[in-house]
Amino acid sequence: MSLLEIHVLGAPGLRQESQPVGAITDDVRRLADDMFETMYAASGIGLAAAQVGRRERLFVVDVDDTPLVLINPELVARDGTAKGEEGCLSIPEIYGDVERAARVTMRALDADGRAFEVEGTELLARCLQHEMDHLQGRLFIDYLSILKRRSAMAKWERERAKYPSLRRTLDPRDLAEQHNDEAL
């Protein structure tokens, strides 16, 4: 397994729609493994392929110690609304409240090509919807009010200077120093 570079806001791939995965090959499984390793190194709970510069319609999540790979996911049910704070591994240090469905059910293929359904509430529901958005090129900042978005972008302009190539390279040795904010 290897750590992947995370593309940050401004990288064009983050705004592109992902493409359905045809065959689940060893290459796809390796991508999922590398995405897990990268997500854990970044202290994240979700990561979409678009965030590591890939086009596959695929994301990984791990909420409550339950790692899941969702390939070609579809939303099959949603219910209620809940507001909560979100961050994103592709927009480091920026946070904002987003209203999401309180409960969602998604259907997807796992890394062995088997269809499964996952129902999420609370943090898992939020995480699944956030990652699903990445597959459409949508980011959590798109949901912020104009004023909140403007202040988030002003802060991001300063943060972005840390990523001149619009890539975030993780250093496993930094792990111990990281704070505990969960990012998706």
Residue 95 three-state SS: coil
In the complex, residue closest to Zn ion by CB: 88
**Window contacting Zn ion (CB under 5 A); options: 26-34, 71-79, 85-93, 103-111:** 85-93
Q: How far is CA 148 from the centre of its chain?
A: 21
In the complex, the smallest distance separating the C-beta of residue 31 from Zn ion, rounded to whole angstroms, is: 17
Decide if residue 184 touches Zn ion (CB under 5 A): yes
**Window contacting Zn ion (CB under 5 A); options: 119-127, 148-156, 160-168, 176-184:** 176-184
Task: Mark whether 131 is an active-site residue.
Answer: yes
Q: How many CB atoms lie within 10 A of CB 112?
A: 10
Six-digit token string for 95: 């946070």
Nearer to Zn ion, 24 or 87 (CB): 87
Total interface residues for Zn ion by CB under 5 A: 2
| Amino acid, res. 56 | E
Q: Are 80 and 102 in contact (CB under 8 A)?
A: yes
Nearer to Zn ion, 8 or 24 (CB): 8
In the complex, the smallest distance separating the C-beta of residue 171 from Zn ion, rounded to whole angstroms, is: 20
C-alpha dist (Å) from residue 173 to 46, 86, 88: 21, 25, 21
In the complex, the smallest distance separating the C-beta of residue 113 from Zn ion, rounded to whole angstroms, is: 26
DSSP 5: P
Decide if residue 88 touches Zn ion (CB under 5 A): yes
* Helix/strand/coil percent split, the chain, to 5: 35, 30, 35
**Window contacting Zn ion (CB under 5 A); options: 31-39, 70-78, 82-90, 112-120:** 82-90
In the complex, the smallest distance separating the C-beta of residue 134 from Zn ion, rounded to whole angstroms, is: 6
CA distance 115 to 28: 16
Nearer to Zn ion, 33 or 182 (CB): 182
Q: Which position among 85, 131, 157, 182 bears the catalytic label?
A: 131
Q: Are 70 and 37 in contact (CB under 8 A)?
A: no
Q: What is the binding site for Zn ion (CB under 5 A)?
A: 88, 184
Report, as residue numbers or ranges, the catalytic residues: 131
